[in-house]
Structure 1
Amino acid sequence: MATINYYLDKADKKGLSPIHLRINCNGKQIKISTGEKIASIDFDKDIQQVKNSSDKHIEINHYLSYLKDRADELLNKSYKKNYTNKEIKETLNDYINAYKENHSVNILREQISLYGKPFTFVDLFAGAGGFSEGFIQAEHNNKFFDFLVANDINENCELTHVVRYNHQLGLDTEFLCQDITEPDFLDNLISKIKGRKVDVVCGGPPCQSFSLAGKRKKFDKKDDLFSHYLEVIKVLQPKYFVMENVKGILTKEKGKIKELILKEINSILDINEIPKLTEFIKGLKKTNKEDDFLLDCLVKRVEIEQYSEVKGEEAKEVYIKTIEAKFRKLTPEIVDYKTSKTDERISTIRHGFNLLIRNKEWEKLKRDIIREKDYCNIDNDYFVDSFTRFLTELDSNEIILKIEEAFKQLKVSNLHKKTCNDILTALKIYTLNIDDCLNLTKDFCDETQNLELNNIVNDIRLYKIEAPFIANSSDYGVPQNRERVLFIGCRKDQKFISEIPATVKDEEKVSVFEALYDLDFVGNDDEAHTYEVVDITKQYNGTAKKMKSLLKERSINGKPNSSNGKTFSEWSKEGRLNGRFKNASKPFYVKSTEALSNGEKVFDVLHNHKTSKQNDDVIKRLEIILKEGDYKSAQKKLDKCGLSSNKRNYNVLNPEKQSPTVMTIPDDYIHYNTPRALTVREMARLQSFDDSFVFQGKRSTGGNKRKTEVPQFTLVGNAVPPLLARAVATEILKNIK
């Protein structure tokens, strides 16, 4: 049994004594410098800690404790029984050097300069940073991306980004930790951009509320986030934007959501071209004299698009007040004075105008109610219908329906019916997106005018998009069949991109075995901090030749490359970042933002490779499922052994194929070779994250905490696979002007 302690060496000229690690084992002694110095008065020899009198006591004590733990693990808990002095020193010096390196450089290290053109990008709903990682990996013809700002609402997303991109890679990337639906979000985002031009915006608005795998809720705070994403696009007007989502969005509401998204994208206008459109609509009055009012409303609705948020809200109020004035003039024509003051139908119409004028305030109230509803977990209970009804009543379309019903009940004479219909049509125009307004304008055009309008529409639409593109991650070197929908908006002055070409053919796809085989040295309730050699011949005995044949040398993007390629696992260990980041520091882990501030960093060679602690029954259940090949086939045997489970599904990984879609719960998957769940690092490999990308904070969480916390498994499962993002970014670099 080895004993491990610290001692102070002789003090230097400044009175500081180096702290040394001393190991005694079988009569032999090893001494290693930790790289830290301390005044002897500040060190407590008995408890082996730096006293509170030192400014750096928290950081140094964390470092000493961490280093002692790694030494103890190496000497007293390792599978290997014999070490030479040299092996022990080399292993521990890896940890020490990583610590020294981190403290000998500034956070913003100088990157290797690249010749060529940098383009900028912003990552919204960034999560762990799958899009971010793919974009900074991408290069084409001396073109590459600079990372301006990332955004998400969760602190652990921010922590993971700050550690990766600021501390480790030395970028000056900003992070905005704020809900995109908040009123001052855009102002804060613009402030973080610092006046720089944004070339590309990417992001995947959270999609749980319309995922095929989850419940479909009304008034989930995540359900309408794509419209807020597009508001950012309207303001920043990047050359390209990419919006990623689950495949289920294409079929939600029988395809209506997809069509709505496309209409909203088509409704983003080039504000410089708006006067051309408004003049055209005004010109239609000559041939549609009886529809002056509606055409004026169309002009006002289109003009709202050119205003800032504040001025836009003022313009909306003027719009409703214009319609209200028309109704006020109509009222004495359709009812007497007494009725106009007391009738429920007239009051409904008047008060409906008031509600519409105060739409911004009602929208804010809706956001707050939805946030509180989600916080209180209102769903599948006696409360949910009441909340749904109330929130529905606040919608502008519902208010207009009630106004329409009030007009219907008034039974207005034919003499005034057109005026009533015009008021209702004008209210509906208020709620239309620009794409629908343009379609309505066509109703007032003859054949020649229609041709002219089509030419104007082509000029006025800022972005070109035909249809969303379905991308399977496995087509881009990711060892996972993860289908995602990409909406790629191309600004009208840029080359059109309709799809992302695959980088690998079907027969070239990366297998699960390629991705994970070299990490297969952990057991149940185990954690590894360094790589260990995996001997395929010993592990697989009679099938070793077949398993070795699965390993292929490839380029970064997964394309087979026998001349100077690397295996997927080698790329994962060495990293796929481009040449700018040769000065990157060693990766490290911290448990929280406070720990980062205190310098409580963990510099392991391998991070996030810890298995869950599973009891004997669970292990037996997994053994049976693994042996049978899938959960369904194993049901009878599980029942017979008394090991059946209420769990909906287990996915047994097939080493020769790609994994199913990686989600956020590790227990959903069974390792192909061992009856256990996957580690964070293994799931990250299936997502194509480099091993140097460390997922920070808690490893997992459960219960109601899942609503607010984003632990490591959630960070991984919700991410865009970096190699898919890299393919998207590369295609943009090929086309961007």
Structure 2
Amino acid sequence: MDNLGSPEKPTFIDLFSGCGGLSLGLSQSGWQGLFAIERAEGAFETFKSNFLDEASSHRFEWPSWLPKNAHSIDDVLTDHEEELRKLRNRVDLIAGGPPCQGFSFAGKRNSADPRNKMFQRYVSFVKLINPKFLVLENVPGMNVAHTKSGNVSAKKGQTYYEKLRIALGELDYTVGEMILDAADFGVPQRRARLVVIGVRSDLARRLPTGVTGVFNCIALEGKQQLQSLGQGKHVTARQAISDLEVGNGAASNGRTLEYLGDGSRQGYFQKNYQAVLSSEYQRRMNEGVRPSEMDSMRLARHSQDVRERFKEILEHCRRHRRLGMNLSAEDREWFGLRKFRTVPMSADMVSPTLTTLPDDIIHYADWRILTVRECARLQSFPDWFVFRSKYTTGGDRRKVECPRYTQVGNAVPPLLAEAIGRGIRSAWSAVGVKVLKLSGKKTIYRKKEIMMVR
């Protein structure tokens, strides 16, 4: 078995990586990425631009045997089983966020959705690699039973989380779970997620309080991030994106310019960005980025009728103090909206949960939907992080394409992932195992304990 001590630069593999939110957070917390698996070509193009470029500050140590393009996890397991076996006991962490559409309360919660079974591929990878730690992120619905009569309280063996826990237990992992809200980690967005942590049992036995201790360390990291970014309070939407406002009517004069970036077409504009930063969160997100380097700033091209409707919705909800809440059925009927979810933001609250649909949320001040960059800010992606592929897609193409709004909406918030990465490292360091060979003996040093082993 490999050394159980904590290395200076522990390694990880990211499965179902999407555009790289989980990878970014882990990298920022001191982990070294080896490779990632993502099937959607658009999402992988974004991942590649940020983690495989020569100039990347978080460059992955990509193996020569795996082509640097989009892959399905099934193909990698089938085509590269021999290479994966050679990594056994040589990787510290496997992370991943399997597709969650079949679990999500925002969707149809289809128990027959084939994406629900992707966690089984995750388990197959774990069996081959046998890493020390596991991280799996999903929506809370993964731990709610699917039945023909609807959602019921979780019972042992019914939920996909329980199936996952049992499967990993058979591989000799100690597994725990907790619902974490990204807002408690400095992310300016209300986003509850099920986070599963697994620790290989030989290491779990040496952790002072097991998986519970890992979650305690993660929570402590979250408090420190929240103190740094919001002085202990949740970061609001205004604190996150006020520097990206463009105004309405005459107030927008001089604050926009023609959009000339990827996917530019006649009639599109973007914020004429001046980097007037007004919060610690904005300063951290924008650190080291010149105004001309701001990516994915294209504004939606709304008709005047749509803008007027957004204006009325914002004013109506302010009068009734219902900003930050989904419009009621009566409101939707009054405004002639067919969409089930339309949320006018509140400037002084955290953002509502971002989805993959850009028109789910109305900006708190401007009469428009959010830009990709604003969504990225609300997910805690720094401004240097670039996004590739289309901005949006529709119809049947939504099943195969992964445009920018979808990439951001599906991502793990990097700040949440960073706290997870730091928390695991902090708990791991408590093991304090160092092996030295002295006079033909091994001396194992533990915290408050020295034991001689022949």
Q: Is 1:574 aligned with 2:287?
A: yes
Q: Is 1:464 aligned with 2:168?
A: no
> C-alpha distance in 2, partners of 1:510/1:625?
24
Deviations along 1:15-53, whole A, 9 cap, x unmatched? Answer: xxxxxxxxxxxxxxxxxxxxxxxxxxxxxxxxxxxxxxx
Structure possessing the higher relative contact order (Cα contacts under 8 Å, 6 or more residues apart): 2
Matched pairs, number: 365
> C-alpha distance in 2, partners of 1:147/1:687?
21
> C-alpha distance in 2, partners of 1:217/1:533?
44
Pairwise CA distance, 1:635: 4.8
In the other structure, the counterpart of 1:180 is 73
| Distance 1:176-1:185 versus aligned 2 partners, 3 A rule | farther
> C-alpha distance in 1, partners of 2:82/2:357?
36
Q: Is 1:162 aligned with 2:53?
A: no
Give the alignment of 1:578-657 within 5 angstroms. Answer: 604-629=292-317, 630=322, 632=327, 635=330, 639=334, 643-657=335-349
Pairwise CA distance, 1:657: 1.1
- Which of 434, 458, 477 is the equivalent residue of 2:186? 477
| Distance 1:469-1:671 versus aligned 2 partners, 3 A rule | same
Greater Rg over alpha carbons, structure:
1
> C-alpha distance in 2, partners of 1:513/1:658?
9
Give the alignment of 1:254-653 within 5 angstroms. Answer: 254=152, 255=154, 256-257=158-159, 258-268=161-171, 462-465=172-175, 467-494=176-203, 495=207, 496-498=210-212, 499=215, 500-501=218-219, 502-503=222-223, 504=226, 508-521=233-246, 526-528=268-270, 531-532=273-274, 567-574=280-287, 604-629=292-317, 630=322, 632=327, 635=330, 639=334, 643-653=335-345
Give yes or no for contact 1:521–1:532 (8 Å, CA) kept in 2: no
In the other structure, the counterpart of 1:690 is 382
Give yes or no for contact 1:529–1:604 (8 Å, CA) kept in 2: no
> C-alpha distance in 2, partners of 1:121/1:189?
18
> C-alpha distance in 2, partners of 1:648/1:491?
43
Deviations along 1:280-337, whole A, 9 cap, x unmatched? Answer: xxxxxxxxxxxxxxxxxxxxxxxxxxxxxxxxxxxxxxxxxxxxxxxxxxxxxxxxxx
In the other structure, the counterpart of 2:372 is 680
| Distance 1:711-1:633 versus aligned 2 partners, 3 A rule | closer
| Distance 1:192-1:680 versus aligned 2 partners, 3 A rule | farther
Deviations along 1:211-254, whole A, 9 cap, x unmatched? Answer: 11111334322021111101111111111000111011111234
Note the residue ranges of structure 1 that are not aligned, 5 or more in a row: 1-115, 139-143, 269-461, 536-550, 553-566, 576-585, 588-602
In the other structure, the counterpart of 2:91 is 198
Pairwise CA distance, 1:610: 1.1
Q: Is 1:128 aligned with 2:15?
A: no
Note the residue ranges of structure 2 that are not aligned, 5 or more in a row: 1-6, 63-67, 147-151, 257-266, 432-454
Q: Helix, strand or coil for the counterpart of 1:490?
A: strand
Aligned AA for 1:156?
G
Aligned AA for 1:126?
S
Deviations along 1:600-632, whole A, 9 cap, x unmatched? Answer: xxx942110111111122111111111112464
| Distance 1:636-1:715 versus aligned 2 partners, 3 A rule | closer
Give yes or no for contact 1:624–1:634 (8 Å, CA) kept in 2: no
In the other structure, the counterpart of 1:18 is none
- Structure with a larger share of its residues in helix: 1
> C-alpha distance in 2, partners of 1:731/1:637?
43
Pairwise CA distance, 1:637: 9.7
> C-alpha distance in 1, partners of 2:48/2:85?
16
Deviations along 1:70-109, whole A, 9 cap, x unmatched? Answer: xxxxxxxxxxxxxxxxxxxxxxxxxxxxxxxxxxxxxxxx
Aligned AA for 1:659?
S
Deviations along 1:662-684, whole A, 9 cap, x unmatched? Answer: 11111111111111000000000
Give yes or no for contact 2:327–2:343 (8 Å, CA) kept in 1: no
Pairwise CA distance, 1:717: 0.1
| Distance 1:690-1:226 versus aligned 2 partners, 3 A rule | same
Give yes or no for contact 1:628–1:634 (8 Å, CA) kept in 2: no
Give yes or no for contact 2:296–2:372 (8 Å, CA) kept in 1: yes
Give the alignment of 1:193-272 within 5 angstroms. Answer: 195=87, 197-253=90-146, 254=152, 255=154, 256-257=158-159, 258-268=161-171
Pairwise CA distance, 1:177: 2.4
Q: Helix, strand or coil for the counterpart of 1:528?
A: strand
Give yes or no for contact 2:16–2:38 (8 Å, CA) kept in 1: yes
Pairwise CA distance, 1:634: 9.8
Pairwise CA distance, 1:178: 2.0
Give yes or no for contact 1:664–1:717 (8 Å, CA) kept in 2: yes
Deviant stretches of 4+, over 4 Å: 192-196, 522-526, 633-638
| Distance 1:526-1:248 versus aligned 2 partners, 3 A rule | same
Give yes or no for contact 1:476–1:723 (8 Å, CA) kept in 2: yes
| Distance 1:618-1:241 versus aligned 2 partners, 3 A rule | same
